[in-house]
Amino acid sequence: MTKALTKGAEIDLTIDKLAFGGQALGRHEGLVVFVDHGLPGQRLRVRLRKKKANYAEAEVLQVLGQAPQYVPPRCRHFGFCGGCRWQDLAYAAQLHWKRQQVLECLEKLAGFQSEVVAPTTPSPATWYYRNKMEFTFAPRPWLPEADLAAGADPEILGAALGLHVPGSFHRVFDVEECYLQSPPTGLILAFIRQFVRQSGLPAYDTRQHKGFWRFVVLREGKRTGEQLLWLITTAQGDNRVVDTLAARLREAFPALTTMVHAVSDRKAQVAQADQGRVLWGPGYLEEELCGRRFRISPASFFQTNTAAAEALYEAVGRLADLSGRETVWDLYCGAGSIALSLADRARRVVGFELVAAAIQDAYVNARLNGVDNCQFIAGDLKDCLRQALHSPHYARPDVVVTDPPRAGMHPQVIQALLDLAPARIIAVSCNPATLARDLALLQEKYALTAFEPFDLFPHTPHIECVAQLARKGHQT
C-alpha cells in the first residue's frame, strides 16, 4: 500500500514526535512522514508534497484530533511567520522536546548516553524576551490567502516592512504585532512603513537588485532601557530623506536613544553593512549581563535573550570550575561577554575571534568594566591557535571555552584542542548536531562529564547547550 502513495496523495496521520529542526513526524504504514506544522498526539489529514523511497513530506489539510498539549497561539501572524513555530505547544512540552532532540543528536552522532544530559533550563521570560530583531523591506507585502480572498491588493498597499515568509527570500509580510520583542516594536515598524510608502523612494527588490530601503534592526538593553535603531539602505537614494525620517522618529519615539544609518549594496540579503553615520545619540547602546556592562554597536553579536544568557553563562562559570589560578582561552569570543564573565575567577583570559570589530568591542567592554586580565586576539582561529600553540608569549590554557557558530569547530581547531590538552573544555553551542560531531572528535582524549541544555528561544525549535569535557584521567 505504501508504494502506491505518490505526490498529492491525501492520508490520515498521527504525529508521534517532533524531529530535530522542529518538523513533526508521523508514520503511515511504515513510511516516515514529516509535516511542517504538527504536534505530538495530533491526528491530521495531510497531503503529500514530496515522496521518496524512505520518507515523505506533507502539508496539513485538517486537524482531525487535537494534541493534549496544544495551546491557542497568541499571535495573529502564527502559521505563516517562521519566528514562533511552536507557539501552539505548551511551554513545558517545548522544554521536553528540546531535550529529546539533544539526546537524539548525542546518541546517534556521538554515541553518548542520556544520563549525562540535564533537563532543559527554561527561559525566565517566554514573551518579549528578545533584545534584537531584524526586519526587511520589500516592494510589496506578501498577503495570506484570506486577505487576498477579501480583496486586499498588495500592489496598492505599497512597500512592506516585516519578516520573511519561511523558505522565501523575497516574500515579506507586514509585522503588525510581535510577542518576541518589546511592545513598541510594532508601533515603530508601522511608523517607518507609512513614511517609506510616502517617501517616493522604492524598497529594495531582491530579484532586480534595485531600490533604496533594505533593513531595520531594533536593539534594546533589557536591563538599561536603552534602544537602538539601525537603518540600512542602498546608495540608490537621497540621504536627506533618511534625515527626515530620523527627525520624525526621534520626536515620535523618545524612548529610542540612538539611530544609525548604514549603506549596503551587496547582493546578499543579510542585515550587514559597514560602519554607518550616527543620526543621533551615541551610536551604540549598553546592556548589563552577569554584573558586567557591555557596549553594543549596531552589528555586534550579543546573546539575544539577556536573562536566559545569564543562566547560560552561570553554567559556563560553574562547569569551568575555576580557582583563580587558571589561564582560560575563550575561542570565538565575540565581544568578550563570556571572557569578561570569567575574568574575576581566572588568573588570565585570552579571547580569540575572527571579526576584528568584535575584538575592538571586547577591549572597550574590558575597559568599561575595569578588567585588566583579559587579552583579545583577532584572526582565523585555526591559524591563531597554531601560532599560539608554539609561541612563548602565551601560557598554555588550563581551561578552554569554545562557542563556535552553528557550523561548529573547524577540524584544525579540534586538532589544536587535542594538542593543547587543557584539563577541561567547556563547549557552548547553538546547534546540538554539530556539537555532537565535535564532541565525538574530542573523545580521543576527553570524557563528557556534564551536558546542560538551555532555552534561549521559547516557541522555536532552537536550543543552546553547554557541555563539560574533562581530560581523561583528570575528570572533575
Distance of alpha carbon 224 from its chain centroid, rounded?
Answer: 22
Spatial distance between the Cα atoms of 298 and 320, rounded to a whole number of angstroms: 31
3-state secondary structure 189-234: HHHHHHHHHHHCCCECECCCCECCEEEEEEEECCCCCCEEEEEEEC
Spatial distance between the Cα atoms of 39 and 131, rounded to a whole number of angstroms: 28
Residue found by looking up cell 521559547 in the block: 458
Helix, strand, coil percent content, the chain, rounded in steps of 5: 30, 30, 45
The span from the first CA to the last CA of the chain, in angstroms, equals 55
Residue found by looking up cell 490520515 in the block: 12
Q: For strand 464-471 and strand 227-233, is the pairing parallel, antiparallel, or unpaired?
A: unpaired
C-alpha cell at 273: 553593512
For residues 296 and 302, the answer to whether their CB atoms sit within 8 Å is yes
From residue 276, alpha-carbon distances to 72, 231, 241, 260, 271 in Å are 42, 9, 16, 6, 13
Q: Which of 75, 105, 384, 430 is catalytic?
A: 430
Question: How many Cβ atoms sit within 10 Å of the Cβ of residue 376?
Answer: 23
C-alpha cell at 395: 601560557
Question: How many Cβ atoms sit within 10 Å of the Cβ of residue 200?
Answer: 10
Spatial distance between the Cα atoms of 38 and 24, rounded to a whole number of angstroms: 5
Element of type H or E holding 140: none
C-alpha cell at 214: 533594505
Is 430 annotated in the active site?
A: yes
Q: For the stretch 268-305, what's the b/e string if a residue is b when 16 or more beta carbons lie within 10 angstroms of its beta carbon?
A: eeebebeebeebebebbbbbebbebebbbbbbbbbbbb
Which positions are catalytic?
Answer: 430
